[in-house]
Amino acid sequence: MKRVLSWMAAGVALIACGGETEGGSGSLVLTLSGEEAAQTGFPVPGSPELRFADGWAVHFDKYLVGVGNVRVAGAEGEVALADTGSVVVDLTAGETEVFRFDGLGARRWERFGYDILVPRADSRAIGVSEADVRRMIDGRYNYWIEGTATREGTTLRFAWGLSAPTRNDDCVNSADDSPGVVVRNHGLAAYQITLHLDHLFYDRLGSHDGVKMRFAAIAAVAGGDGAIAWDALASQRLASLRDGDGQPLRGEDGALLVYDPESVPLADANLQQYLLAASVSQGRFNGEGVCVNRTMK
């Protein structure tokens, strides 16, 4: 379901420069989406690449995220928009309109960015309970994820708060590989902030060519009650992953399974820190458009 809101964001700085006003002005609307995966989980029907290589299936009951600090500027640094507003959204609800900005100069703005952040007391909650927002604020979580994982009659549960706020800059529009956004005079420019949830489960960071989605190493730390505790993931060492019986974890080909962070720095070489680092790369633009993703201090 798509929720549509119409509002003028508070805390917006609009700066008009000569060249921008000469072309008139228009509006920018931003939606937020976790794509079909947020609603169906994995595997995603009809997308063979969006499945776990080890046979697990995952469904999300909640995939909450804080997003805000939208930035729009020109190639030479001229600022069109510096917004301090933020929202908390449940991606399982489908594509949701989150921001609308009016009075932007009509032209191409080559630099677009946004943050994935810990909600603040003044963040707007869209389809998210006050208790969940408070939990994210108190825990310093930019993501709160709940769901179930199943394989061969086994069902496991997880409820994780992730703390890895991310700055996403210089986003490229996947429709034509052009930088930033285009605002037309008297027009309404619509763009999507897209989150790629599959990145959280990749077995390699950095380059994504040839990666596989995996869940077995995560499932292996489940307790006797079927719950996968976030803290338990720290017990899985990336270079010596274990199955539920404590034996070396092997892939489909029988070879020892190793998660490879490549050149991405980790606070520690364990699966918990790996997932945090993997979450940083989820931020995209208009589908497949890439952004420069980096962890915020």
Torsion over CA: 248, 251, 252, 255 (sign): negative
88 lies in a domain?
A: yes
* pLDDT for the residue 280: 96
153 lies in a domain?
A: yes
pLDDT digits (tens, 9 = 90+) for 48-80: 999 999 999 999 999 999 999 999 999 998 999
| Number of domains the chain contains | 1
The strand pairing partners of 86, in sequence order, are 68
Q: Is the pLDDT of residue 140 over 80?
A: yes
135 lies in a domain?
A: yes
257 lies in a domain?
A: no
232 lies in a domain?
A: no
Query: Domain range for residue 96?
Result: 12-197+283-295
233 lies in a domain?
A: no
Q: Is the pLDDT of residue 256 over 80?
A: yes
The strand pairing partners of 111, in sequence order, are 73
Q: Edge-to-edge, what's the strand order for the sheet holding 25-33?
A: 96-105, 25-33, 188-195, 283-285
Mean pLDDT lowest among 7-16, 184-193, 278-287: 7-16
137 lies in a domain?
A: yes
Average pLDDT over residues 130-147: 98
Look up the pTM and report it: 0.90
